[in-house]
Amino acid sequence: MSQGAPLNGLRLLVVTSLFPPATGGASEDFRLLAAAWQECSAINHIVILTERRKGSPRREDRGKILIRRVLPSRDTNLRLNAALRMIRSAFTYPLLTLAIVWHMHRESTRAVLVHGRYGRKSFLRILKLCGAKVAVFLSDHYTSPRNLSHCDAIICIAENVHDRATRDLGPTSKIHYVPLPFIQPSSAPSSMSNLPRPYFLFIGTACAQKGVDVLLEAFAVFRREKPGFRLLLAGPIREYSLTRIAGSGTTFLGEVDRSRVLTLIQQAEAVVLPSRSEALPRVCLEAIALGTTAICPPGVPELERACPEWVLPSITPQNVLEKLRQAVNSSFQVSFRFEKHDSRLVAHRIAEVCSAMLEDADDSKRLRAPGLPF
């Protein structure tokens, strides 16, 4: 696949389960990309297909960007039993396929950028059979790269995601490392005088995969040493059993809007993310940008280079406890290169990959045309 392909009136269909006002890392990724694509003169039109959300308009025009909240919900709600998830899945993906193919014809485009959470091999194969040129946006480890071997491009927004894709699929020109889109906040937009300071802050889905069980255990010990501290957890609760083992001084806030999240980060003693598997966690970058101590998960090369002394060696209660103590007794001084994460550069690079994907398809057609001497 050609690098740095020229853009020429690119028309792109983007498929993501999360887009504002939904919360989550992918939602913020695509919010930033949509704003940057809006300013890209070489892009003709982009349609973003995302899930229906109560209280949000089904159709939203933003100049070059059309947002259509028409997709059915995915089958990943863990509060449903396995049988109900299978039934939902049986309806979700056929409807999803119909919606995408219909919009491909309506928008006269074959370029489809699919978020990795839709990375089912059978689903992506069907899109290919329907004439789509498929790029997959991999922002985490949820989807195995092996499911994506037949896709036209794989866009990895973290180094460890890129490394895994290369390890699973071997060196191939279809795998692209493109940095996580990020705009550095200079300060939080507002203050919250009613916050129970001092506090540690966890942001994300409350589940064992994110290390919340280990964090609760470590904080229970820390609070016996320093009873004035609290632990706030902002984000949806996936495993409600965690709320029953939480000790005193712990508060589950549920989902929190973005402006409040930045305020929570800026006023926290430290942001703690003891996740068992992470790509490049946006919350850690936001903490670094706002000058707040970030206790980071292991296995993230970008953070291991920037702040090795604040990276957990492994996910155990003792390691988390030691970092909590360190956060109270040590200063946090980190230098991180945010320039390469500029959302405008990232958006343009993704558009280049999608444009090159279409050019490769056109070249292949010309090679197969009758009358050529090869």
Query: Of 86-95, 177-186, 283-292, 365-374, which range is least confident?
Result: 365-374
368 band by pLDDT with thresholds 50, 70 and 90: very low
DSSP H helices, the chain, are: 25-38, 82-107, 121-129, 159-169, 212-225, 241-245, 258-267, 282-290, 301-306, 317-329, 343-368
d(CA 281, CA 157): 11
pLDDT at 188: 61
The token pair at 86 is 């299978």
Q: 104-149 pLDDT, tens per residue?
A: 999 999 999 999 989 889 999 999 999 999 999 999 998 999 999 9
How large is the average pLDDT for residues 221-230? 96
Q: Which residue has the higher pLDDT, 345 or 80?
A: 345
CATH of the domain spanning 10-184+341-368, picked from 2.40.30.10, 3.40.50.2000, 3.40.50.920, 1.10.3720.10: 3.40.50.2000
pLDDT at 54: 87
CA distances from 216 to 134, 154, 219, 239, 271 (A): 41, 36, 5, 13, 14
pLDDT at 372: 35
Name the fold adopted by 199-329. Rossmann fold (3.40.50)
pLDDT at 196: 81
pLDDT of 366 over the 50 cut: no
Q: 25-75 pLDDT, tens per residue?
A: 899 999 999 999 999 888 999 999 999 888 899 999 999 999 999 887 765
Would you tell me how many other CB atoms lie within 10 Å of the CB of residue 326?
15
370 band by pLDDT with thresholds 50, 70 and 90: very low
Q: 236-250 pLDDT, tens per residue?
A: 999 999 999 999 999
Considering the chain, what percentage of its residues have pLDDT values greater than 70? 89
96 band by pLDDT with thresholds 50, 70 and 90: confident
User: What's the whole-number average pLDDT of the chain?
Assistant: 89
Domain with CATH 3.40.50.2000 in the chain: 10-184+341-368, 199-329
Count of H helices and E strands in the chain? Answer: 11, 13
269 band by pLDDT with thresholds 50, 70 and 90: very high
How large is the average pLDDT for residues 275-302? 96
- Bridge partners of 271, per DSSP, are 201, 294
- Which backbone phi and psi does 138 adopt, to 5 degrees? -95, 110
